[in-house]
Amino acid sequence: MQQIISLLMENKPGALMRVTGVLTQRGYNIESLTVAHTVDPTLSRMTITVDVDAGVRAQVIKQMNRLINVLQATDVTDGPAANRELVLLRVRSGGLHRTAILDQAKKFHARVLDSTSEGFLLEATGDPKQLDQLVAIMSDYGRVEATRSGIVSMSLERKKLRLSAPVARRPAQTVARPGAEMSAPYEMQETE
Amino acid sequence: MTSAGSSQFNLGSQSKRLPGAKILLECLAHEDVECVFGYPGGATLPLYDALYDHSIRHILVRHEQNAAFAAQGYARATGRVGVCCATSGPGATNLVTGLVDAMMDSIPIVAVTGQVPTKLIGSDAFQEADTFGITRSATKHNFLVKHVNQLPQAIHEAFYIAASGRPGPVLVDVAKDVFLEEAHYTPVTEIHLPGYKVFSSGHAGQVKRAAQMIWDAERPFVYAGGGIIAANASEELRAFVELIDAPAVCTLMGLGALPAEHPNFISLPGMHGSYAANMGMSHTDLIIALGVRFDDRVTGRLSSFAPHAKVIHVDIDPAEIGKNRRADLPIVGDVKHVLPKLTADVRHLAPAMKAHRAEARNAWWKQIREWKREHPLEPQISETEIKPQHLVAEIDRLSRGRAIVSSDVGQHQMWAAQFIRFNEPRLWINSGGLGSMGFGLPAAIGAQFACPEKLVFALVGDGGFQMSIPELATIANHALPIKIIVMNNGCLGMVRQWQQLFYKNRLCQVELNSFPDVEKLAGAYGFKGRTVEAVEELNRVMEEAVAEPGPYLLNVKVSCHENVYPMVPAGGAINEMVLGPPQPVEA
The pLDDT tens digits of the residues spanning B216-273 come to 999 999 999 999 999 999 999 999 999 999 999 999 999 999 999 999 999 999 999 9
Mean pLDDT of B352-380: 92
- pLDDT for res A157: 86
Residue B135 has pLDDT above 60, yes or no: yes
**Do B6 and A171 make contact, defined as CB atoms within 8 angstroms?**
yes
Report the C-alpha dihedral over residues A93, A94, A95, A100, rounded to 10 degrees: -10
Cβ atoms within 10 Å, residue B509:
10
Report the alpha-carbon distance of residue B254 to residue B290 in Å, rounded: 10
List the single range of B315-319, B351-355, B471-475 with lowest mean pLDDT.
B351-355
Round to the nearest angstrom and report the end-to-end CA distance of chain A. 31
Q: Which helix (H) or strand (E) holds B215?
A: helix B204-216
Which among B26, B64, B157, B320 is annotated as catalytic? B64
User: Whose CA is closest to A13, among A48, A51, A33, A42?
Assistant: A42
**Do B199 and A178 make contact, defined as CB atoms within 8 angstroms?**
no
Task: Please answer whether residues A5 and A58 qualify as being in contact, where contact means their C-beta atoms are separated by less than 8 angstroms.
Answer: no
Report the alpha-carbon distance of residue B106 to residue B170 in Å, rounded: 11
- pLDDT for res A161: 87
- pLDDT tens string, chain A, 192 residues long: the values are 899 999 999 999 999 999 999 999 999 999 999 999 999 999 999 999 999 988 889 999 999 999 999 999 999 999 899 999 999 999 999 889 999 999 999 999 999 999 999 999 999 999 999 999 999 999 999 999 999 999 999 989 887 888 898 998 875 544 443 333 333 333 333 333
B383 is catalytic: no
Of the pLDDT bands very low, low, confident and very high (cuts 50, 70, 90), residue B352 is confident
**Do A163 and B191 make contact, defined as CB atoms within 8 angstroms?**
no
Distance (Å) from the C-alpha of residue B159 to the closest C-alpha of chain A? 9
User: Whose CA is closest to B189, among B82, B30, B29, B11?
Assistant: B30
Q: What are phi and psi of A47, to 5 degrees?
A: -125, 130
- B108 prior amide bond cis, ω within 30: no
Cross-chain CB nearest to B8 (options A21, A67, A172): A172
Determine contact: A44 vs chain B, CB below 8 A: no
Task: Please answer whether residues B246 and B309 qualify as being in contact, where contact means their C-beta atoms are separated by less than 8 angstroms.
Answer: no
Report the complex ipTM: 0.88
Report the alpha-carbon distance of residue B90 to residue B115 in Å, rounded: 11
Nearest chain B residue to A12 by CA distance is B143
DSSP assignment string, B83-114: EEEE-TTHHHHHHHHHHHHHHHHT--EEEEEE
B127 is catalytic: yes
**Do A185 and B137 make contact, defined as CB atoms within 8 angstroms?**
no
User: Whose CA is closest to B324, among B278, B357, B287, B374?
Assistant: B287
CA angle A141, A145, A148 (to 5 degrees): 120
Task: Please answer whether residues B151 and B23 qualify as being in contact, where contact means their C-beta atoms are separated by less than 8 angstroms.
Answer: yes
- Positive/negative CA dihedral, B329, B333, B336, B342: negative
Best residue of B1, B134, B137, B196 to probe chain A, by most A CBs closer than 10 Å: B196
Report the C-alpha dihedral over residues B117, B121, B127, B133, rounded to 10 degrees: 120
How far lies B337's CA from each of B204, B234, B249, B311, B343, in Å? 11, 12, 21, 19, 11
**Do A179 and B450 make contact, defined as CB atoms within 8 angstroms?**
yes
- pLDDT for res B354: 78
Report the alpha-carbon distance of residue B233 to residue B479 in Å, rounded: 34
